[in-house]
Chain A
Amino acid sequence: MFDTRRLVCALPRALAGLGLFLVSGVAAADYALNFQRPVTEIAADLYDLHMLIFWVCVVIFVVVFTIMFYAVFSHRKSRGAKAASFHESTTLEVIWTVIPFVILIGMAIPSTRTLLKMEDTTGADMTVNITAYQWKWEYEYPDSGVHFFSTLATPRAQILNQEEKGEHYLLEVDNELVLPVGRKIRFSLTANDVIHAWWVPQLGVKKDAIPGFINEMWTRIDEPGVYRGQCAELCGKDHGFMPIVVRAVAPAEFDAWVAAQKGVASAEAAQADKTWSREELIARGEKVYAQCAACHGPTGQGVPNVFPAIAGSAIATGPVDGHLDRVMNGKPGTAMQAFAEQLNDIDIAAVVTFQRNAFGNSVGDSVQPSDVKARRQ
């Protein structure tokens, strides 16, 4: 049953069968085998470069192993092959040192050209600042002051297999990064806690977001559309749950979007001065809590020994001052971030009120946006 010769002979047939199965299977299931369709010049260049080096590798591989398997089939003892005794050839050794070297030079030239183009961030039409957090992205358009966070929009129930998964499972966010097509956009990239990486395959853009460093990259998107990516550098528990969604739109549409965003921001500012009822605050706080839930859990139970619970916590049931302080200033040296910079006055007031009156906590008090504003000074 394990006769080598029969096995070795059967192998190519088995492989051919498997190949056929693969080809038909792949066609039927629409397997993704290669890069996603490029939508920028750089991504197209990368695709071409990738295919070039791929085919060079395939040719080298086929040549070398055609020779090896020819030897395996022909120069075997069972076929009466007598071993030769040669064991060196300077000519051959020089040839197979020089030829690969020449091939490598051939590969290095287009690679260098593409790299120089990729890293040239000069002459940009606009800038977007990206800051990575555990586990969300912050986008800021310094030209217009528009600024927001972008977090995973996939419901928890889908992740926990309690609900049917949607089409864009894990690749959908609450606030998309909206960008104009046809303009050179420079990204300046950093992180607030650990290292992340911003990657959208169809744009051909990936770079690490590193705390204390500012990295640059750029893109010019050719066609309107929605392009999805993910954080690419392991950044802790929810590394797999911090997607990126770029919506590329026509420049006029982009300008309209910027204006609308500004309108939303000023309406919010007006709301911050009024007195909110406890019910209003709790209702809003429940939505804001989604950001806390990443660590503290959807029911405020936390993760034992890693992330403290909010249910029954001394801080969330203690004096308001201490609670606000922890939420706004974080706890240095831990994953607890300073949310003063991330959330506006209403959101902080709402989430603190919510935490004090949810998960079995029943302090019964509430915090007004004006209290938060006062603390900021």
Chain B
Amino acid sequence: MADAHHHDGPPAGFTRWLYTTNHKDIGTLYLWFALTMFIFGGLMALVIRSELWQPGMQIVTPQFFNQMTTVHALVMIFGGVMPAFVGLANWLLPMMIGAPDMALPRMNNWSFWLLPPAATLLTLSLFMPGGGPAGGWTLYPPLSVQGGMGVDFTILSIHMLGISSILGSINIIATILNMRAPGMTLMKMPLFVWTWFITAFLLLAVMPVLAGAVTMLLTDRHFGTHFFDPSGGGDPVLFQHVFWFFGHPEVYILVLPAFGVLSHVIPTFARKPLFGYTSMVFATATIAFLSFIVWAHHMYTVGMPMAGELFFMYATMLIAVPTGVKVFNWVSTMWRGSMTFETPMLYAIAVVFLFTMGGLSGLMLSITPADFQYHDTYFVVAHFHYVIFPASVMGAMCAVYFWLPKWTGNMYDEKLGKLHFWLTVIGFNLTFFPQHFLGLAGMPRRIPDYALQFTEFNQWSTAGAFLLAASQLVFIWVVVKCVRGGEKATDQVWEGAEGLEWTIPSPAPYHTFATPPTVK
């Protein structure tokens, strides 16, 4: 034990971070990496919105505009949101299940350190002859076959990001299955653990599919295969089927862990146990299952047989049921609680509210005939940003505010947190709400220039985007300020907080639960 005490503190310097196998260090690395990518992706969004401030080409060329929309999406999804939640998983899963660390600490180090080179490769693609990938993040051939070397950089980057995700998922599953404290049965696990457990299986199932799709793209580009080239007997639609078999579960990979976060935050600030724990678990599993049989709702207009169109419409509509169960459970948790509204709770309420809007526009999009009008318009852009930004981005911020006192031992600045919250909510809605109208009125997505009748709403949207971006400076300020000091946090931090992570000191020691706790 004396020896263990000796190793209690981390080594100093850069090698601490390079060689670390500590789940808290790796979690921190992931989170800072995600924040960096979030800023990078946000800057690209500002290039897009600046060009769309008014009709005509002002700032960039159409080709560069397409590179921006493509790389913005890839960076936000693979560099921003996914690493943010893996970072949260690293920090929280061992502390929530009473484990001393992740099950496979060295692999954990490797999964993180794959990310910076992958992100570098993706960024470098923009500087290659011919520029970065410009065919959209969905990389549809034959368009993606036309691009320059930047597309190959992107494909290799996706391979590395995919390996990182797969290793991370294996680690998460191994940790949850093997490292739970005595007494913590599966149905006693906190919901963040449950949602990540299911998400990890989704990742394991679909990341290899994406890797396969982009590898076929690579061989079509350079090695004379014709998987997707009709002139050689290939099929461009095949790529879309394979891509979306990955792509739809991917959406749930991005949001399910956030649903887990809400299921911690809402009971804490309502001072009331989560309503319907069991149905939450089953709803998550149902959503995960359905996510595998709805992929073609992204491609209603490719000319599918009637039976296919009907099947994918009905299956997609069904997702509304388990998603509804989750929303109803959160609302019921608030009902007759004793609520207070610290920043994490404000975020949680906003996520439920805004995500439900995205969910309902998703229900509209699931209706095949109506989708023929919505498809590939700004209505879709509005829809998925109402899903991804509230659930994934605001969900991750909610988690950061909630657990930051546990990580740093300091309370964050509540006034600044609330300022950040309100600015973000206003900026977000100003950016994306008008895009519903643009899409319905007929503005296609992914265009660098538009007809005059779309001008006003585009200007609202651009103004909102700059507000939203500027508000994130407040977030960085709050986090940095909290890391550097502040009012000392108690061990429990929040009056209503329950769970193993709140039983250990704040800040959480470098090594926790060397002796497993017993869960009643």
Contact = CB atoms under 8 A, between A and B. Distances in A.
A13 B46 CA distance: 31
A238 B62 contact: yes
Interface in B416-452: 418-419, 422, 437, 440-442, 444-452
Interface string A27-56: 001011111100000000110011001100
B397 to A, nearest CB: 16
* SS of A interface (majority): mixed
A50 B377 CA distance: 15
Interface string A67-78: 110011001111
B207 to A, nearest CB: 24
Given A46-B372, A93-B325, A75 B334 contact: yes
Interface stretch (B5-13, B19-27, B135-143, B156-164): B135-143
B271 A77 contact: yes
Nearest to B275: A87
Contact of A112 (B270, B279, B310, B349): B310
Given A35-B373, A97-B321, A116 B456 contact: no
Interface stretch (B32-40, B169-177, B351-359): B351-359
Contact of A54 (B272, B306, B364): B364
B12 to A, nearest CB: 38
B230 A213 contact: yes
B376 A87 contact: no
A49 B370 contact: yes
Given A87-B275, A161-B58, A206 B372 contact: yes
B99 interface: no
Contacts of A108: 313-314, 317
A194 B142 contact: yes
Interface residues of B, number: 103
B105 interface: no
A80 to B, nearest CB: 9
Contact of B363 (A50, A53, A84, A119): A53
Contacts of A201: 373, 442
A239 B66 contact: yes
B290 interface: no
B184 interface: no
Nearest to B372: A206
Nearest to A204: B373
A210 B302 contact: yes
Interface stretch (A224-232, A246-254, A273-281): A224-232
B367 interface: yes
Nearest to B322: A97
Nearest to B346: A4
A234 interface: yes
B56 to A, nearest CB: 4
A46 B456 CA distance: 26
Interface string A105-124: 00110011011101100000
B63 A237 contact: yes
Contacts of A116: 306
Contact of A75 (B142, B237, B339, B346): B339
A239 B61 CA distance: 12
B273 interface: yes
Given A50-B370, A240-B448, A8 B63 contact: no
Contact of A206 (B146, B301, B328, B337): B301
A104 B321 contact: yes
Nearest to A190: B230
Contact of B334 (A72, A85, A111): A72
A67 B331 contact: yes
B135 to A, nearest CB: 7
Contacts of B367: 49, 53, 107, 111
Given A77-B338, A81-B338, A168-B451, A240 B62 contact: yes
B273 A85 contact: yes
Interface string A231-245: 111111111110000
Contacts of A171: 451
A232 B325 CA distance: 35
Given A75-B336, A210-B302, A118 B451 contact: no
Contacts of B62: 237-241
Contacts of A373: none
Given A194-B143, A210-B302, A57 B360 contact: yes
Contact of B352 (A68, A76, A158): A68
B369 interface: yes
Contacts of B273: 85, 87
Closest 10 CB pairs of A and B: A212-B230, A240-B447, A32-B441, A305-B129, A215-B303, A83-B338, A57-B360, A84-B336, A232-B376, A87-B273
Given A170-B451, A233-B301, 17 more contacts: A4-B346, A7-B422, A35-B442, A57-B364, A68-B352, A83-B338, A87-B333, A96-B328, A104-B321, A108-B317, A115-B306, A116-B306, A169-B452, A206-B372, A230-B447, A236-B143, A236-B146
22 contacts: A1-B415, A4-B341, A8-B341, A32-B441, A32-B442, A35-B442, A50-B370, A77-B271, A96-B325, A97-B325, A111-B368, A112-B310, A115-B368, A116-B306, A119-B306, A170-B55, A212-B236, A213-B236, A234-B135, A305-B129, A305-B148, A334-B146
Interface of B: 55-58, 61-63, 66, 129-131, 134-136, 140, 142-143, 146, 148, 230-231, 234-237, 270-279, 301-303, 306, 309-310, 313-314, 317-318, 320-321, 324-325, 327-328, 331-341, 346, 349, 352-353, 356-357, 360-361, 363-364, 367-370, 372-373, 375-377, 414-415, 418-419, 422, 437, 440-442, 444-454, 456-457
Interface of A: 1-2, 4-5, 7-8, 29, 31-36, 45-46, 49-50, 53-54, 57, 60-61, 64-65, 67-68, 71-72, 75-78, 81-89, 92-93, 96-97, 100-101, 104, 107-108, 111-112, 114-116, 118-119, 158-161, 165, 167-171, 193-195, 197, 199, 201, 204-208, 210-213, 215-216, 229-241, 303-306, 334-335
